[in-house]
Amino acid sequence: MRIRRVNSYVAIVATIVLGYYALVCLWPFAFNVYLTFRKTDLLTEDRFIGIDNYRFLFRDPIFWRSLRNNLYYLGIMVPVGIVTSLLCAWLISQTSGISRKIYTAMYFAPVVTSMVAVSLVWQLLYFPKIGLFAQLLSRAFGLDPNKLTFLQNPATALLCIIIMDIWKDSGLRTVVFLAGIDEIPDSLYEAAKIEGASEWKQFLSITVPLLRPQIIFLTAIYSINAIRVYVPIYMMTGNPPGGPANSTKVLALQMYQEAFYGMRFGYGATISMIIFALLVGLVLLEIRAFEQKWEY
């Protein structure tokens, strides 16, 4: 009797969980797919247009510019972030006691800070003439601070945002690498010292290979973040976001602008499906990478 009662509770809980999942996950996804085949503003116009949204998407130069910006973001933020955080973790691992705790806290502090707040602060740092970076470069190299328009220059705007993003999450990557370094047996380093290996040689021959799982994990996570980046672009690039001249526009921002600024919800949903396809591809690559057998 008691077993039947427990089974009934399990069935009720499972039904509630599945219903919640269908309501907040499956239904929105299905409705999004439905919108990709329609031209609609969800108010007055709503008609079936087949795959015209997809046809227009692949002929849209702004879409291709946004996709290139996402890939550029990924291509710089991920490798630079991984390398710099790995070096920082290695340097911190050489310390001990209170110094190590202070360094770790300093690097991790930006991680727990709101991206909105960080974006606004860095926007002020990049401000021409009176911004900190403009003042430092003008004093160090004699440059005109009025011409140092970091976020207003199409050639440098996206790179400046990437630098901010690398700095903000460096603490999380550093902590992950630091935990991995602590798991490496000291005997390996002692054997390397007996063989005459330098500190740099030990880092390249022991530390980096044994941190391969952490490197793959962080590469996958931050590749996904680079594809769905939105907040720093929106906060740091003025009105309308994505400028100047679409130099910082990314897929998530274009999706939002097409749907809620242009009231083209069908086209916005189509862009979201491209983002979804890219994310699924990255997740599959991550799963395949973690299925490998690690042997050292």
Residue position matching structure tokens 């299925």: 291
Domain boundaries, position 244: 53-290
Does residue 226 belong to any structural domain of this protein? yes
User: Cα torsion at 91, 140, 243, 227 (round to 10°)?
Assistant: -10
> Whole-angstrom Cα distance, residue 31 to residue 49?
16
Does residue 31 belong to any structural domain of this protein? no
Does residue 296 belong to any structural domain of this protein? no
DSSP for 21-65, please give it. HIIIIIHHHHHHHHHTTEEE-SSS-EEE-TTHHHHHHHH-HHHHH
Burial tier of 246 (Cβ tally within 10 Å: 0-12, 13-18, 19+): middle
- Global pTM value: 0.87
Q: What is the pLDDT along the chain (296 residues), one digit of tens a residue?
A: 555 565 677 777 777 777 777 777 788 888 888 989 988 888 888 888 988 999 999 999 999 999 999 999 999 999 999 999 999 999 888 888 888 888 888 888 888 888 999 999 999 999 888 888 888 888 888 777 777 888 888 888 999 999 999 999 898 999 999 988 888 888 888 888 888 888 888 888 888 888 888 898 899 889 999 999 999 999 998 778 888 888 999 999 999 999 888 889 999 999 999 999 998 888 888 778 766 665 55
**Helix 132-141 vs helix 115-125: angle between axes, to the nearest 10 degrees?**
30
Does residue 16 belong to any structural domain of this protein? no
Does residue 40 belong to any structural domain of this protein? no
What domain count does the chain have?
Answer: 1
Does residue 210 belong to any structural domain of this protein? yes
Does residue 66 belong to any structural domain of this protein? yes
Pull the structure tokens for residue 16: 């509630």
- The helices-and-strands tally (H runs, E runs) of the chain is 15, 2
Does residue 148 belong to any structural domain of this protein? yes
Question: The CATH number of the domain where 281 resides is what?
Answer: 1.10.3720.10
